[in-house]
Structure 1
């Protein structure tokens, strides 16, 4: 079975087709004698025709009324309804048919229905009986009243045979096909989708299944290695540039501080502060700061309350609502940075910011950062999560501006660092809501809390 599972798809399809043929043959050979042995309409018609021929032969040989009565009595014992009829009463239209000696064929024509006609009248309660007239000689004839066979009695065995021979083997074949071919392809597609949606290429594609899938997995793993090398080289280059910029930036700051024109000195110091902030943001984003820090148990309520208080002291209206205490396993510095980025980003475009914390049990920990700013369009909600994209044209009520890394950094901390989800929603009547869903708190039974999902643990 292992060799079949790793064979090519063409070989697998060929083997499965042969398996279907063998399975249908075995099922048909073992079930049809039982089904049609009990309910074979052709066999019943053949037996009836034989009994009619026996009665006709005995009646034809009768030379007296007593012998004719004996022949009719035989028909009664054989459960055949028959009556004597003068040959002169046979209509000219039925004369040729009545004179035919082929009783078997005439009985079949009288009792067998066309398939579609029988299907149309399958559940009719009354079934009309067609008499069978047999001309004995120039003076005598017999009228046999045909029995009425239940159409459903002869139809359902054929249906059962079709189900056993076709439907069940096809179901078995479909299951085996899904196990051999479809299931490995489904797992492979799911792995590719996760790599696409999570921007994660750390885990290689598992090379299992048919030879074609294993070949595709090997090709994608080669491409994955090249992409990782390219991304790593790019990150090292940008990080090196950001680090190297600090030296001339420090020299510029020292020279500016010796400037004797206060107005010009203030403008240059402001520009240097902006440059320094850009370098810090870029380094933090490129190096994924905080992702490799171990998790520890913190009071999430106190952490968020502290963030709200710190911003309030700078003149920004930030309010916190939530439980008084909420123990949670997380990277506190990273969470602080993510929430601070969201609040700082909202403060540029809004006058009031709300931080709401909720523990919804198995649904997870919900943190909402809401503002009363102008909000974002549906298109911009997706684009602002891209690095270095700024939506200042859409949200221009505030002053200042960011570098386009605040939201992407926060989203990376929540998704990659904690296995959570960050979503941008509309706030009524206006504004933006950044909803964060963190994995639920789990008690390990020893008093220790856990909140990091298995998928996250493999990323960290």
Structure 2
């Protein structure tokens, strides 16, 4: 007993597409944060404590406090020397040596601005603005000690801003690239591939024997639901086609018995003209039934592809029509081997030639291999032709044109040929013939041609 698809789906629940994408995005962000922290710990060198702006601000504040509290000039000079040795240039100068700046300095480094801002919020530190000492570089910081003195710091330890930003940014972008590739791989495998398989299965449905297999139930929950719906739809379509074929076959079988009785009874009619007219009508009804069943019969799928000597097949068809009095000739190479279904191709060409001999007196069947990409079988007649506006309708099933080419039957000959050529991955086209008539081209893909094997020479 085969397992039910719905039962399997309930036993093993699947996550929805939205849930999978949100979960994947969240895990990607979390994983990216973990990688960023790991990369910062492993690859980014931590800054030296003495190279940070916070360290410089603390030393400046300590120096101001020490100078205010100390009374010994030697101790003050010793403290300032120690500060200079640590990389912070500082001088204790009188306030009278400071000069007013005509305009504020431009291009002040960001770390100097941060240091001034941090010193400005300290309660017992007084920054002097608009004044300078000596050359007054942009990084200079002046702090008032008392009413007579000030400490001048030409610079505070700082980090180079761009190297500090660019290195983590490059690492972060590299991690984002990796996560983007992982997300793309997931999207390709979990979403795009099942959708592509569905598109291929929908295109091949009804054209190849492999299309009978149900679609695989892989991917997120929504894609599985679509696959189940498509499988159910294909099953319904097959059931409808089977029911239609069985119904028409039963009707045909039921009609053949009274048609046979009518044929026997018509033979007893004494009037020759009436007997001939009735027999023509009976033959026409029989042909219509056979034509309909031929269109509905699906035996082309059961026929396995094989090697066909196409030139010989076309010559045989032409000879069969010539034997019953039709002017049908063949033009083309003496030999061409290709892959296909022999009975189906013979049926397609025969239908087209039958349609041609009904409306033309001269019919030429040609085989052309010079057209790029296709093997062309052309059936040309000298009949009235079909107007270009009605050529598309002529290929539709159960369509009878009102023009000169309409005759008894349901108009299924070209439709049957078109379905057969589609199953061979080819096509059919209607074109005007020169100087008059219609030319029908049946095309096969050139890949179906098989190279001819030359016989070995006997020594």
TM-score scaled by length of structure 2: 0.67
Residue number in structure 1 paired with 2:142: 134
Query: Which ranges of structure 2 fall in alignment gaps of 5 or more residues?
Result: 1-9, 120-136, 455-459
| Residues 100-249 of structure 1 aligned to structure 2 (within 5 Å) | 105-106=115-116, 130-135=138-143, 138=148, 142=152, 144=154, 153-195=163-205, 202-249=212-259
426, 436, 453: which is aligned to 1:421?
426
Consecutive unaligned residues in structure 1, runs of 5 or more: 110-128, 448-460
Separation in 2, partners of 1:428, 1:153: 78
Q: Which residue number corresponds to residue 436 of structure 1?
A: 443
**Hey, what's the Cα distance between the residues in 1 that align with 2:415 and 2:212?**
19
> Alignment length, in residue pairs?
410
Cα deviation 1:94-142 (Å, max 9, x = unaligned): 69xx9xxx98532899xxxxxxxxxxxxxxxxxxx94434255656674
Question: Partner residue of 1:320?
Answer: 331
- 8 Å CA contact retained: 1:72, 1:82: no
Hey, what does 1:344 align to over in structure 2? 354
| Matching residue of 1:412 | 419
Q: Which moved more, 1:298-307 or 1:252-261?
A: 252-261
Q: Who is 2:28 aligned against?
A: 20
1:54, 1:349 → 2: CA distance?
113
Q: TM-score, length-normalised on structure 1?
A: 0.67
Judge conservation of contact 2:374–2:443 (CA < 8 Å) in 1.
no
Contact 1:291 1:334 in 2 (8 A): no
Distance in 2, Cα, partners of 1:318 & 1:79 = 107
Residue pair 1:87, 1:135 contacting (<8 A) in 2 also: no
1:73-88 mapped onto 2 (5 Å cutoff): 78=87, 87-88=97-98
Over residues 284-309 of structure 1, what are the superposed CA-to-partner deviations in whole Å (9 max), with x where a residue is unaligned? Answer: 22223454345543311111233345
Contact 2:80–2:91 (CA under 8 A) maintained in structure 1:
no
Partner of residue 331, structure 1: 341
Q: Distance in 2 between matches of 1:22 and 1:190?
A: 37
Q: Aligned in 2, Cα 1:356/1:142: closer, same or farther, shift over 3 Å?
A: farther
**Rg larger for:** 2
Q: How well do the aligned residues superpose, as a CA RMSD in angstroms? A: 5.2
Cα separation, partners in 2 of 1:167 and 1:285, compared to 1, 3 Å: same
**Separation in 2, partners of 1:103, 1:330:** 83
Q: Hey, what does 2:366 align to over in structure 1?
A: 355
